[in-house]
Structures are given as structure tokens and as C-alpha cells.
Amino acid sequence: MKALGINQTEAILLHSRNYSETSLICELFTRKHGRVSVIAKGARSKKNKFQNIAAPNILASVNYSGKSELKTLVSWEEITHFSILGKNLKILLYLNELIFKLLEKENKQHRIFESLIDFYKVLASGDAKNIEIALREFEYFLICELGYGFNFLFDDNGKKIMKEKTYYFHPAQGFSEKPLNNFLKVSGIDIIDFTNGKITSSSARSKIRKIMQLAISYIAEKPLNAGLIFND
């Protein structure tokens, strides 16, 4: 039974910063309540009760309380430690930055939370081929969940994307056959391959990555720090 005034849920750490001499301000992404800000009192002291709270690759069971925007973390217990290292850890940090920058506070996003945890599992597998396509798919899923989705099947006139044609992409308009300034040129076959879960050539990978970067930067209104993942 839920204790009075205590919120219990699962969470991952998106970002943290030092507060006072011994504490942390933590931005959490929770299963039940979306993005939540908490203060972890004593998290930097020798008697810290929040084990591994600063690790970005932990799924934890948390309890927190408070009615203000900044909650008080009561407990943090590790559920799963995802073994993610090297470049894959950089990708994880990029994903966490996406969530931190694009999601509003205390707006439940259960589907995004589940999808993010599933992608953590892909990262932990270390399968480079699956990781890249899964990253692009997660970015597109996030864009759609936030209400900014563009169509990979049809152009801006409602015509089906054709593999032999060339298109021009802008996040506010989608794909167009009409050449326009500041639009990204992309082939129909690359668009279709992405919808089929195939981006095999370096050119296709580069184009799809740039499409997602343009869309995410458009939503965030500025480029993200980690947005150069998989640069060729």
C-alpha cells in the first residue's frame, strides 16, 4: 500500500548536479510520472544511502515525496544494471539528453519509458548493427510521440514515396519532390529502406541520421550536445 504522500515508481537518472556540500539535484525519468526533479539529500556524503544514484545505466525502484516542483528522494534501490560501455555509453547519454531536453516535467510518458528501457537492453547487447537502426527508430518514435511525426510513406502532396525518385526533407514539411533551399536531399530508396528496417550503406545511414538530427533540433529549437552520434 502506498504510504501517505510517498510516490513509488521505477526510474532512471537523466542528469544530476551538485547541491550544497553533500547533496544532488537529480532529474529522473519515471515510469508513472514522467520527468521528475528530486533532491537526494546526503547523496555525496560518506553515509550515502542512494547507492549508484549517479550512474546513468541503472533502472531503480524509487520513492519520493513533496508537492513542489522539486521533490525529496526518500529511497533508491537498483533493479537492473545495464552493462553499457564505450561508444554505447555515449549513445545512452545522448538518449538521456533527448528525454531531458524534450519532455515536459511530470507529464506521464509510459510508452516512451518502456521504449527507452527496451533500447537500453539493445545497447547492453553490444550488437552494433542492431544498435544503429534501433537508435534511429527510437528517435523517430520519440518524435512521433511528441506530436511532430512526419510521414516516411508519403510525400507532402500525399503521394507514395517512390524508390527511384529524389526528395527534399524539412522537419516542418516532411518529404517533398520540389527542390527547396535549406532542405536535405535524400533518395526514395533510402527512405523506403528505413521504413523496412534496413539502412545498409554508409550514405543511407548518414542521410537518415541527418533527417533525425534536423527533426530533433527543430523540436528542441537548438542542436543537442550529443547529437553527432554515428557521424561518418
- Domain covering 6-81 in this structure, CATH number: 2.40.50.140
Question: CA-CA distance, 97 to 99, in Å (whole number)?
Answer: 5
Fold designation for 127-220: de novo design (two linked rop proteins) (1.20.1440)
pLDDT at 127: 83
Instruction: Say if strands 70-81 and 58-65 run parallel, antiparallel, or are unpaired.
Output: antiparallel
User: SS3 for 194?
Assistant: helix
Residue 230 confidence (pLDDT): 44
Name the residue with higher pLDDT: 3 or 182.
182
Task: Give 105-163 pLDDT, tens digit per residue.
Answer: 999 999 999 999 999 999 999 887 789 889 999 999 999 999 888 899 999 999 999 99
| Closest among 195, 219, 224, 221 to 208, alpha carbons compared | 195
Q: Detail the DSSP E strand segments found in the chain.
A: 6-19, 23-30, 34-40, 58-65, 70-81, 166-170, 174-176, 184-187
- The more confident residue out of 223 and 28 is 28
Could you state, in order of their start, the residue ranges of all structural domains in the chain?
6-81, 127-220
Provide the residue type at 34 as one letter. Answer: G
Q: In which band, very low, low, confident or very high, does the pLDDT at 179 lie, cut at 50, 70 and 90? A: confident
Pairing of strands 34-40, 166-170: unpaired
- Total residue length of the chain: 232
Tens of pLDDT, residues 49-87: 898 898 999 999 999 999 899 999 999 999 999 999 889
pLDDT digits 0-9 by tens, 182-210: 789 999 999 998 888 887 788 888 999 99
Report how far apart, in Å, the C-alpha atoms of 152 and of each of 1, 15, 61, 225 are: 46, 32, 38, 26
Which of 35, 40, 31, 99 is closest to 65 using CA atoms? 40
Rounded mean pLDDT of the chain? 89
Give the whole-angstrom CA distance, residue 76 versus residue 172. 41
Q: Which value, to the nearest 10 degrees, does the dihedral of the CA atoms of residues 188, 191, 193, 195 take?
A: -140
Residue with more model confidence, 225 or 133: 133
What's the pLDDT tens digit per position in 15-47? 999 999 999 999 999 999 999 999 999 999 988
